[in-house]
Amino acid sequence: MNIDKSKKRIAKKVKMGFKGYPQVSFSYFGETTEIATEVVVTFVLEEGAEPQEQRFSGQNDVREDEIIQSALVKIMERTEAKTVLEVEGVTLKGK
């Protein structure tokens, strides 16, 4: 799946807001606020359930990595996430 298509599908789900569980969230991290070298995917099956995390990292900006963005779309689909959240910007690693 191409990068623009992946980003649009993620953005569309994020814009829908909270629709219940299961819920997936994406948080981006990097050495600077300009380049995200890691994304943390958090999955919550139901309210009060223990969150599960998975990390993807790359040498370049993972927000522009076609393989990683396609994987995020696949995670949304396979978990049948009703809610998708995305933390805006890039959080500095170690903060």
Please report how the helices 3-15 and 66-79 are oriented relative to each other, as an axis angle in degrees rounded to 10: 40
pTM of the shown model: 0.91
Q: In what side-by-side order are the strands of the sheet with 38-44?
A: 52-57, 38-44, 23-30, 83-92
Q: Is residue 94 pLDDT above 90, yes or no?
A: no
Q: Is residue 53 pLDDT above 60, yes or no?
A: yes
- For the segment 47-54, the average pLDDT, to the nearest whole number, is 97
- pLDDT for 95 equals 57
Each residue's pLDDT tens digit, 55-79 = 999 999 999 999 999 999 999 999 9
Tell me the two tokens of residue 37.
């070298």
Residues 6+ apart with CB under 8 A from 35: 60, 61, 90
